[in-house]
Structure 1
Amino acid sequence: MATDTPTTRPGAVEDAPFAPTDVTRAFARFLTHLATFVEAERDVEVMMTSDPAFDGSLRRSELALEDTMMLARQSFEAELTRHADRPLRYTAMLLHRALGSETRAEFEGLRGLVDSYRPMFRASGSGPIARRVNVMVDTALRRLDEVSQLRMIAEMCDDPHPDDLVADLVHA
């Protein structure tokens, strides 16, 4: 005999559906490509450079980064429709800059902005739109933490000046 187990309490009012905007659509695509980039970069980290298949994985990682950067740009360039789009815009701008960082210090400085300016990265309110936006922002910031653990970031030099890098190589 089947048991009837309701999952919604009687008399509960359902939230209005979440209507995506241009910013939320672009940001959702950005999140998908960001996850793809992180996985592609992890694949590159475990491969041996002498393996002929390495070239394909490296190229996939580079293309994933290019796509991610393009979609981040689309997210923060899209027209704002509602106030809750702002945290998505700020998050996309932050991740775009962080992924384009030239030094570990620059990357970590950008990550630190989230803690310093937390309200900019949160949608106010407790409705379905604010909750959905906050989940999207939280997902992006978790991905940023994952990126910070990648070798490409961990092995970044802290000197962005190519002339100094060349001098170090010559004297080594």
Structure 2
Amino acid sequence: MTVYQSIHSAGVLEAFAPGFTHTSVTRRFGVMQRALGAWIEAERDLEHSGSWDPACDHWLRDAEAARAAVGAALDALCDTPAERLEDRPLLRIARITRALSLSEEDAEFAQLYARIATSGALLRCPGRHPLARRVNLMLAEARRALAQLAALPDHAVVIEGECVEMMPEDVPVAETGFTEASDTYPQAMQAAPGA
């Protein structure tokens, strides 16, 4: 005997909600994260080397090459258009990271780092669906890496002494509306075509 049971539409949507799938932004974000980790390690090697010693020149060259790799990865990432709403926070933190890596003044570095240290809604992916959770993990990992970068001797004194909380003033209204999106997964997937 066959027994039929009706399934509510909400259960069907939840059952067929896809898990995490990569976009061009998430792939390039991963490349940037690996390059950033290599740069931090190269800078840590420089901490313990004697800059006056010619035997340590290779560490300096490695650090410069690692910084250039981070810059190339950030340029490629920042030039990538968002394919879905969940890509936007990744692009925001990438743009701030690029500005941090290019900053040459202590006060500018401190202000940029303050944007990341205060995890506002613009640097989070709203929702409780698998895609939002994965993106938030990627953002948290980026914040940890940037905290390690800020803890290096070149920046540690600046961050501890002069960090000023600063929020972006030029945020478009459409993007602030995105931060208040609902927690339902299917609505968050209604992004750009092909997402």
With the length of structure 1 as denominator, give the TM-score of the two structures: 0.77
In the alignment, what sits opposite 2:29? 27
Instruction: Determine whether 1:95 maps to 2:97.
Output: yes
Structure 2 CA distance, aligned partners of 1:39 and 1:14?
42
Gaps of 5+ in 1: 1-12, 157-172
Instruction: Determine whether 1:80 maps to 2:82.
Output: yes
Map 1:57-72 to 2 at 5 A: 57-72=59-74
CA positional deviation for 1:52: 2.9
* Aligned partner of residue 145 in structure 2, secondary structure: helix
Pick closer, same or farther for the CA change 1:99–1:151 going to 2, 3 Å. Answer: same
Q: 2:19 aligns with which of 7, 17, 20?
A: 17
CA positional deviation for 1:128: 1.4
Identity of aligned residues (%): 33
Pick closer, same or farther for the CA change 1:105–1:66 going to 2, 3 Å. Answer: same
Pick closer, same or farther for the CA change 1:117–1:154 going to 2, 3 Å. Answer: closer
In the alignment, what sits opposite 1:166? none
Gaps of 5+ in 2: 1-14, 159-195
Q: 1:39 aligns with which of 31, 38, 41?
A: 41
CA positional deviation for 1:87: 0.4
Aligned residues: 144
Structure 1 CA distance, aligned partners of 2:143 and 2:88?
15
Aligned residue identity for 1:39: E
Structure 2 CA distance, aligned partners of 1:64 and 1:115?
24
CA positional deviation for 1:14: 9.9
Contact kept, 8 Å, 2:117 with 2:143, in 1: the verdict is no
With the length of structure 2 as denominator, give the TM-score of the two structures: 0.68
Provide, for residues 28-70 of structure 1, a one-character-per-residue CA deviation record: whole Å limited to 9, x for no partner. 0000010000000000111122433311110010110111111
Aligned residue identity for 2:127: G
Q: 2:141 aligns with which of 139, 142, 149?
A: 139
Structure 1 CA distance, aligned partners of 2:75 and 2:132?
22
* Aligned partner of residue 94 in structure 2, secondary structure: helix
* Aligned partner of residue 54 in structure 2, secondary structure: coil
In the alignment, what sits opposite 1:122? 124
Pick closer, same or farther for the CA change 1:119–1:44 going to 2, 3 Å. Answer: same
Aligned residue identity for 2:20: F
* Aligned partner of residue 20 in structure 1, secondary structure: coil
- RMSD between aligned residues: 2.0
